[in-house]
């Protein structure tokens, strides 16, 4: 019988907003939003006080202000958040080297074997939370279970500043009663499709055969078949590879003219060059993201047989993508990203995708 793994998912509570409240005590207990407060501003993060009014991340700032008229906006400070994030990641490594960051404010930890020889994953999670509070003054929530899928779900159950454990003996019953909306990897569109098929909870999903799920959901069908049975053998990977580097810009006023749009593409290309250089990322695919004034979104991509390198290279490809088809209406957001990472130990694949 395989040894039962002990996986912890740590998720910082309202991270950006909590950092701002910690650094500025006057903001403590008040509804704040990190982001721009202009007409085209977007909420990057909201404090729990703001969330009570329905303010959420990725929400347009003008909608957030309508929901919470006394909302306080704070400018984003990426360098500060990165500094605090590094402190938190260092704390994780006090307990185990099997740490897989998912983002700046969350990570998986495999503590099946740990540096402090603590047998209980729950005790480890409590110690980590205490260390985070001691070092940063911030709170975190922890989910604990036998695999990454369940640990990720568990960390949302006692937010903020909580711990939730799904022990091996409870896994089957827990998943059976879990709403498919809560399944990590099931988005809103897929959840709606499942509802239309009479699939509302894990027990409904488990009734479907593997063939049925693959027919209904394509390649994701196998994933749904496994996770509803508590099967997730993905290891905690401390060497998780970055898949893309990008930049995007929301405009104060919609861009109407192609020349106007091209000027912003140039600015985005320069910013992208800096980010590629800083991250040492090398990729073959350039993607142009366009969001129109009606909020419809379009992406256009081109893949080369070689590395996309330098401003001129990016601009030439971006121009090709801009001219690939007519723009449907005025542009409210534009983004550029490089993906399809080059593994220097492997030969280039002889494929081109448009």
Q: What is the mean pLDDT of each run of 10 residues along the chain (354 residues)?
A: 83 96 96 86 92 92 93 93 95 95 94 93 96 96 96 92 95 96 89 95 96 92 94 88 81 80 88 87 90 85 88 90 81 89 52 29
**Looking at residue 305, what is its pLDDT?**
83
Looking at domain 170-227, its CATH architecture is: Orthogonal Bundle (1.10)
Tokens of 209: 């055969």
Question: Buried (b) or exposed (e) across 115-129, using 16+ Cβ within 10 A?
Answer: eeeeeebbebbebbb
**Looking at residue 292, what is its pLDDT?**
86
Neighbours of 341 (CB within 10 A): 16
Q: Report the distance separating Cα 150 and Cα 230, nearest Å.
A: 8
**Per-residue CA distances from 213 to 61, 205, 220 (Å):** 39, 9, 8
Neighbours of 290 (CB within 10 A): 21
Q: 311 Cβ partners below 8 Å, 6+ apart? A: 269, 270, 273
CATH of domain 244-341: 3.30.1490.100
**Looking at residue 226, what is its pLDDT?**
95
Neighbours of 134 (CB within 10 A): 9
pTM of the model: 0.74
* Residues belonging to the chain: 354
Phi, then psi, of 109 in degrees rounded to 5? -130, 130
Looking at domain 1-165, its CATH architecture is: 2-Layer Sandwich (3.30)
Looking at 49, 83, 106, 177, which residue is catalytic? 106
**Looking at residue 224, what is its pLDDT?**
94
All structural domains of the chain with their residue ranges: 1-165, 170-227, 244-341
SS3 of residue 247 by DSSP: strand
* Cα 111 → chain centroid: 23
**Measured in Å, how far apart are the chain's first and last C-alpha atoms?**
48
DSSP 174-218: HHHHSBGGGSTT--HHHHHHHHHTT--BHHHHHTS-HHHHHHHHT
Query: Active-site residue 326, yes or no?
Result: no
Residue indicated by tokens 């980590």: 128
Residues 228, 182 contacting (CB under 8 angstroms): no
**Looking at residue 345, what is its pLDDT?**
46
Tell me 295's DSSP state: S
**Looking at residue 347, what is its pLDDT?**
42
């Amino acid at each position: 019988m395989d040894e039962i793994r002990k996986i912890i998912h740590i998720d910082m509570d309202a991270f950006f907003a909590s950092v701002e409240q910690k650094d500025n005590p006057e903001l403590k207990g008040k509804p704040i939003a990190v982001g721009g407060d202009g007409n085209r501003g977007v909420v990057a993060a909201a404090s729990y006080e703001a969330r009570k009014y329905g303010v959420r991340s990725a929400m347009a700032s003008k909608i957030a202000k309508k929901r919470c008229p006394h909302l306080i906006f704070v400018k984003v400070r990426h360098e500060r958040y990165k500094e605090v994030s590094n402190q938190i990641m260092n704390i994780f490594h006090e307990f185990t080297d099997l740490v897989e960051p998912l983002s700046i404010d969350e990570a998986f930890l495999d503590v099946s074997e740990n540096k402090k020889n603590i047998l209980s994953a729950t005790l480890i999670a409590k110690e980590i939370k205490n260390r985070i509070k001691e070092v940063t003054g911030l709170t975190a929530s922890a989910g604990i279970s036998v695999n990454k899928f369940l640990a990720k779900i568990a960390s949302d159950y006692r937010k903020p500043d909580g711990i939730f454990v799904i022990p091996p003996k409870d896994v089957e019953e827990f998943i059976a009663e879990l709403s498919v909306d809560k399944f990590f990897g099931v988005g809103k569109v897929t959840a709606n499709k499942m509802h239309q098929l009479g699939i509302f909870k894990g027990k409904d999903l488990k009734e479907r055969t593997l063939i049925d799920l693959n027919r209904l959901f394509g390649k994701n069908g196998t994933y749904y078949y496994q996770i509803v049975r508590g099967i997730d053998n993905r290891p905690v990977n401390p060497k998780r590879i970055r898949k893309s580097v990008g930049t995007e810009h929301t405009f104060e006023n919609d861009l109407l003219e192609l020349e106007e749009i091209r000027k912003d593409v140039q600015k985005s290309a320069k910013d992208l060059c800096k980010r590629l250089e800083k991250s040492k990322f090398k990729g073959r695919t350039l993607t142009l993201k366009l969001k129109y004034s009606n909020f419809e979104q379009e992406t256009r991509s081109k893949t080369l047989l070689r590395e996309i390198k330098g401003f001129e290279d990016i601009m030439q490809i971006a121009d090709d993508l801009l001219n690939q088809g007519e723009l449907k209406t005025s542009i409210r957001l534009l983004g550029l990203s490089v993906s399809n990472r080059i593994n220097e130990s492997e030969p280039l694949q002889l494929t081109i995708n448009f």
